[in-house]
Structure 1
Amino acid sequence: MSQSLRCEKARPAVWLGALLMLGFLTGCPIMAGYSDAEGPRYSGDFRPVQPVAVEGPSSVTVVTYNLAFAEQVTEAVASLSSPPLSEADVIAMQEMDAPAVERIARELGMSYVYYPASVAKDGDDFGNAVLSRWPITADQKINLPHDDPYHQQHRIGVAATVDIRGTPFQVVSVHGATPIVGLGARLDQAETVIQAVDGAARSQVIAGDFNTSDPGSLTQTVKLFSQWGFQWASEGVGDTVDSVIGGLPLDSVFARGLTPVARGVDKRPSGSDHQPVWVRFAWPQ
């Protein structure tokens, strides 16, 4: 969402018109996109060697975190290194570039996969990542339809399947388009992600920045996921972005095949305009 907050700012009845106008006035540049389904792709594994445990975990925690052009990596590492975020088994990140993802994974001792979606206005790559304390056994880039009509910015989802003591668990990091493309297009993007991973694993989480800032968009997004059998696992956590126009509920976590037992938004400074969202799930025994 950082792109939309820096280039477009508005709310309720005047939101869409103001978003369009500010897009023109601020001159947000056209952004080159990576539409190849195979890449570029970056991955690594910095998990420490540990004795093999006999039993699986009683719970699994997922965090979604938009780091705002991956600029404040030191602050991000600090946030992710203290509770409740330090309990994360899997982290879905957006607005990332490869060096930032690798540094965070290295410092936290996690495996990762990263795909860029486009090149941001600062010249750095701009994409999604999944980091995990468990081995990543498969991954997929999901190209989303409806590039931004004014800036041509491409958006993607990144799906990663992790192995938790022999049980596959899939987490998808999503960054939907801003309201400038319209609600129908963003719902189409969300459904594209759902269809791409449908049936890939018994336990699935789709998390990220859905850019649900305009009236009715969050309700419609939740309805769509519900129709596909997903629960709004982060329901009730509140706004996830503090902007000049007030709080915005942009980041969500949806789950299928898992039961959420706790959730929240980490309100501490995190190096981003977004506040990380975490959900802890009971892990099937």
Structure 2
Amino acid sequence: MKIKNRTAGSFARCQRKSCSQTSCQHKSFRHIFFLAGCCCCLLLALAPPATAIRRTIIDAMPSDKTNPDKTNLLETGGGIIKPGGAPAGTPDEIKIVSYNMRWRGGDELRELIGLLRDDSQIGGAAVIGLQEADRGKGRTDRINTARVMADALGMHYAWAAPPRANSEQSEDETGVAILSRYPLSDVERIVLPHEGPGHRRRVALGATVRLGATDVRVYTIHAETRVVMEKKMDQLRAVLTDLERYPRIERVVVLGDFNTIKQKDVEGARRVFEAAGFATPFKDGQATWRTFIIKLKLDWLWLRGFETSASGIARQVEMSDHWPLWVTVKFKWDKGRG
């Protein structure tokens, strides 16, 4: 599995320092340095491989207050994959769900997992895109939300978060996630352009889903709320820029919370994706978010290379201020293929 993080540095760098001329004049010091060097070599020989080191760093969720972006903000895992959970061949039809879960935890998270497993609308999806998924935050009992959900549903997962807004933050920002019944590769954390209030950044996550012999590129986005329309469109175009690196992949899903608060944001988002060859079964007037009497279309699900056979907004799911979007899609095949 290829994992890329555009803003994260290497996990460790070894620097060799020569002793000074004066300190090496004494035999006792030479003995000390010789013994220290032997100890270092022994530790390196016994150290786990790089992948294991990376796994440890992810689990520990380290904090680097001098450079918040050094905190590991990209994570992948296999969940507890059920035998036979992902068919070997390319399916004729799959369900896709997008949901801004608004950092649910505890009983609500368990309820959501049950709905994603059994509900007639959002249950049984092959691919799930999430926004506002926490990891290690006090408000959600410091659990890894994406991992907990993947384990419970028997899915692969990838999770990413933006850099911390300031060096004094003790917790990472909330993140985005992709859950999939099928293996993930080319996982990419994309820090979106343009800061929001208080130097806050937003992030998208891309991954290639291997469905049998067919690759599908999937992106989940959590765009900024309080930026002008042109900057918001730049954030959406960032995933299309990443998509250009995969010219051979014909089937693409871009979903998430675009925060298209104003009508001109809605119209702008439609122009951006229709110009890139995408289509959506959801109309501009279909609200996906509500507070009191106000309802807005903030969430989107764009498709390329698929035919939609069913779609809906699961308004019975009320644990967030957003509603989940779902589609059932069929693959578009070239002429001549059965």
In the superposition, the TM-score normalised over structure 2's length comes to 0.68
Q: Report the counterpart of residue 198 of structure 2 in structure 1.
A: 151
Q: Deviations over 1:65-88 (max 9, x none)?
A: 111134442232132122221131
Deviations 1:36-94 (A, max 9, x none): 7x942211112212188564311121111111134442232132122221131100101
Residue deviations 1:180-214, cap 9 Å, x none? 21111000111111111125221000000000111
**Equivalent position of 1:162 in the other structure:** 209
Range moving further from structure 2, 94-103 or 69-78: 69-78
SS in structure 2 of the partner of residue 181 of structure 1: coil
Q: Give the corresponding residue for 1:116.
A: 161
Q: Which residue of 2 aligns with 1:277?
A: 325
Q: 1:80 matched to which residue of 2?
A: 116
Separation in 1 of the partners of 2:184 and 2:317?
29
Where 1:272 maps in the other structure, the secondary structure is coil
SS in 2 for 1:83: coil
Distance 1:51-1:262 versus aligned 2 partners, 3 A rule: closer
Q: Tell me whether 1:218 sits opposite 2:266 in the alignment.
A: yes
Q: Distance in 2 between matches of 1:204 and 1:119?
A: 29
- Assess, with a 3 A threshold, how the Cα gap between structure 1 residues 277 and 53 changes in structure 2: closer, same or farther: closer
Q: Deviations over 1:69-128 (max 9, x none)?
A: 344422321321222211311001011123111111111111001111145989453111
Where in structure 2 are the equivalents of 1:43-192 lying within 5 Å? 43-45=76-78, 46-50=80-84, 53=87, 55-71=89-105, 72-81=108-117, 82-98=119-135, 99-119=144-164, 123=171, 125-148=173-196, 150-178=197-225, 180-192=226-238
CA-CA distance at 1:237 after TM superposition: 7.9
Q: Mind listing any 5+ residue stretches in structure 1 that lack a counterpart?
A: 1-31
1:29 matched residue in structure 2: none
Following superposition, the deviation at residue 152 of structure 1 comes to: 1.7
SS at match of 2:198: coil
CA distance in structure 2 between the aligned counterparts of 1:242 and 1:122, rounded to whole angstroms: 31
Contact 1:212–1:218 at 8 Å: present in 2 too? yes
AA at the equivalent of 1:78 = G
Contact preservation (8 Å) 1:111, 1:132: yes
Whether contact under 8 Å (2:161, 2:172) holds in the other structure is: no
The structural deviation recorded for 1:264 is 0.6
Separation in structure 2 between the aligned mates of residue 234 and residue 215 of structure 1, nearest angstrom: 15
What amino acid does structure 1 have at the position aligned with 2:95? T
Segments ≥4 residues shifted beyond 6 Å: none
Secondary structure in 2 matching 1:269? coil
Secondary structure of 2:162's aligned partner: strand
- Preserved contact between residue 159 and residue 173 of structure 1 (Cα < 8 Å): yes
Q: Choose which of 220, 225, 244 in structure 2 pairs with 1:198.
A: 244
Cα distance in 1 for residues equivalent to 2:182 and 2:268: 33
Greater per-residue strand proportion: 1
Change (3 A) 1:140 1:53: closer
Extract unaligned runs of 5+ from structure 2. 1-65, 136-143, 334-338
- The CA RMSD measured in Å over matched residues stands at 2.5
Letter in 2 for 1:162: V
Larger radius of gyration: 2
Cα distance, 1:270–1:77 mapped onto 2, change above 3 Å: farther
Residues matched between the structures, number: 251
> CA 1:231–1:196 in 2, change beyond 3 Å: closer, same or farther?
same
